[in-house]
Amino acid sequence: MELAPTDDQRVRLGRHAGLSRLVENFALERVKAALDQRAAEKTYGVPDGGLTPVPWSAPALESAWRATHPKRFPWFTDAGLSSRVPKEACRVRAAGFSNFFDSRTGKRTGRKVGFPSWRKRKHGSRFRYDADRAKPVDVRTVRLPGVGVVASREDMTWLVDRLADGAARVLGATVKERAGRWWISFQIEIDRSTLDQRRTVPPDAPACGIDLGLTTFATIVDTDGTVTEVRAPKPLKAALRKLRKANKALARSRRGSANRVKRRAQLARVHLRVAHRRADFLHKTTTRLARTKSAIAVETLNIQGMTRNRRLARAISDAGWGEFVRQLDYKTGWYGSRVWKADRWFPSSKTCSTPGCGQRYGGLALGDRTWTCTGCGIVHDRDHNAATNVLAAMLADVA
């Protein structure tokens, strides 16, 4: 939720973000120094048991920070900044090291994670509080250690009531700045049973198959034969003109000038609006589907591979297919629905969806929106046909 800090509070928030960045870099510096020392010791024949230990863990990094900051960073105590921010910064850095090693050994799935790098101001301003150090005071204010009581632009009745009843508890909080605006996100543990039961999927709700595309974001075919086409707002495409204008103004401004700061803020606001429009569309669409469909069949897309096509990369990234499926995964769990994913190589577009036919059309090109089946002679719309096939595959798999 968005915060409404005063000018003095904005300064305090910025200092805490800078503190978090400094501690993360301090932790990385300590680890690299220990690794360099170990490499030098090995050249002198020091056995492995006698090598300098590397502070990989959060407690070790916290201990190094507490021992160092009184002499090296004396301003930390004098500035009255929260001691919880350095603690969480060490945890973030330790998690980065853990993810790196888990990625190398195969314990972490997905794209390979590189060794943590130096955190810079251009990477964004953010910091964390642990446990419930930061929490709502009432429906319109939040208490942040080291900053004070900050007003909120959004009503928090839903959270305050649940915290008072014991139905939720705060596990942590992240404060982040984007385009000059400050936001706080609470990590909470909550009992959703009552809420989910009130919004559960009706027993007679239809199942559906979904084909994702660029011209039409989602073609939805229900078991009762209803076909729905969902058009995406394409926020990045709509903002390209403003982005070009803002980027040109930034490039033409003198480095270090006040005008350059204004132009950078203007460009950030355009990017923030694009992200918000996309997130709003995806959340509304996935929530509606999760609450009205008993089962949802989707394709498994190789989005990373598809973005290698230079002509389509921007449009694919603008669509947000991966985030769409990710949201469906957890929202269907809330409301009693489920998601079924087709195999990546399932030929949903090339297979005739007419019952009893199943003919495959091998000559289907990416630009072909319709094709005629050589087996039954029916003209298929590419997207409708794919959604129907995905739905049929799900129904056959769970039968």
Q: Is 8 a catalytic residue?
A: no
Contact 76, 10 (CB under 8 A): no
Q: Supply 348's token pair.
A: 């949903």
Burial class for 345, CB neighbours closer than 10 Å (0-12, 13-18, 19+): exposed
Cβ atoms of 297 and 338 closer than 8 Å: no
Concerning whether 383 is annotated as a catalytic residue, the answer is: yes
Q: Of the residues 88, 177, 299, 318, which is catalytic? A: 299
- Which helix (DSSP H) or strand (DSSP E) does residue 298 occupy? strand 296-298
Name the catalytic one among 88, 177, 211, 318: 211
CA dist 369 and 365 (Å) reads 9
Largest Cα–Cα distance of the chain, in whole Å? 82
Q: Is 299 a catalytic residue?
A: yes
Question: Measured between alpha carbons, how far is 216 from 181 in angstroms, rounded to an integer?
Answer: 33
In which residue are the tokens 């997207």 written? 383
* Dihedral (CA of 149, 155, 158, 161) sign: positive
Residue 191, both tokens: 């009992």
Residue numbers annotated as active site? 211, 299, 383
